[in-house]
Amino acid sequence: MAMDEGILQLFSGSSNLPLAQDVAHCLGMKVGQALVGVFANEETRIKIEENVRGSDVFILQSLSIPVDHHIVELLLMIDALRRASARRITAVIPYFAYAKQEKKMAGREPISAKLVANMLTTSGAHRILTIDLHAPAIEGFFDIPVDHLRAAPILVQHFRQLDRDDIVVVSPDAGGVGRANDFRQRLGAPLAIIAKQRPRPDVAEVLEMVGDVRGKVAIIVDDLISTGGTIAEAAHVLKMRGAVEVRACATHGVFASTALGILADSDLSELVITDTVPLPANAGDHKVRIVSVAPLIAESIRRIHENRSVSELFD
């Protein structure tokens, strides 16, 4: 234990308490006591109910729906811990919202991801720990250290259990080629790419595909599933091109609106998701399988606390 950093303490906002409890279990500890609620006027209420003076504190909070409420919760928890004299505060954000708004697509638009980064830093966070940012360049929005974890090794391990040599990894768009290429190298499979365009937000149109999927098991790799439209359309194209089976995986299952229904009615035979975002109780009824990132987060927290390398986990 790195005594100069104080004792290790883990707290959680309200967005993903089950994941925080799993992380705490992996660390052999309990989630710290904190009041996280709402006043009668719907303002967020925060009170840290343990002594954190001189401690190395980690707060786990996914920025999931309702996104803005969970952001405010996290900011207030960081501020409360800073005012309570915590020595170091690390915001553990398994899913970082607003990551698709990392640049201006037209005039008079905000760069929302940058603003969220600014608020986290201003509130008093000393470090950020997150998983699979939609745009890796967001790391540069912070003036504090960012540990950017990858869920690929966990997801790849799931598909290794298929023990087949007819797998092809598919990127559902040109922007995800790097992610899919890393995945296929770990799995030892060829790569196919689907080209698409977005005529308007949250709507995707498939244009063309590069690569051979005929007679193969296609695995679509993405970082985030929101409406489910991109994955469903990609699965349909792959089936039309001769894939014998289509599976998919993604790190973050946001599942907005009717996404689960769309995926259930799609050509997918399986969708593998991590638990960075809390999933509906009936998710398993919609071809969804869940793998946990709790051991990865716990080991990363342990390494940060002991001032050891986190990047070694992915070498």
What is the pLDDT at residue 102?
A: 95
pTM above 0.95, yes or no: no
pLDDT tens, 205-216? Answer: 656 889 999 999
Confirm whether 3-150+294-314 and 152-291 share one CATH topology.
yes
Kindly report the CATH class assigned to 3-150+294-314.
Answer: alpha beta
What is the pLDDT at residue 1?
A: 40
What is the pLDDT at residue 257?
A: 81
Question: How do the domains of the chain map onto residue ranges?
Answer: 3-150+294-314, 152-291
**Confidence band, pLDDT 50/70/90 cuts, at residue 196:** low
Q: Does position 204 have pLDDT exceeding 60, yes or no? A: no
Q: Does position 2 have pLDDT exceeding 50, yes or no? A: no
pLDDT tens, 24-68? Answer: 999 999 999 999 999 999 999 999 999 999 999 999 999 999 999
Kindly report the CATH class assigned to 152-291.
Answer: alpha beta
- Catalytically annotated residues: 196
pLDDT tens, 267-284? Answer: 999 999 999 999 887 776
Q: For every residue of the chain, which 3-state class applies, written as one string?
A: CCHHHCCEEEEECCCCHHHHHHHHHHHCCCCCCEEEEECCCCCEEEEECCCCCCCEEEEECCCCCCHHHHHHHHHHHHHHHHHCCCCEEEEEECCCCCCCCCCCCCCCCCCHHHHHHHHHHHHCCCEEEEECCCCHHHHHHCCCCEEEECCHHHHHHHHHCCCCCCEEEEECCHHHHHHHHHHHHHHCCCEEEEEEEEEECCEEEEEEEECCCCCCEEEEEEEEECCCHHHHHHHHHHHHCCCCEEEEEEEEECCCCCHHHHHHCCCCCEEEEECCCCCCCCHHHHCEEEECCHHHHHHHHHHHHCCCCCHHHHC
Q: What is the rounded average pLDDT of the residues 141-167?
A: 95
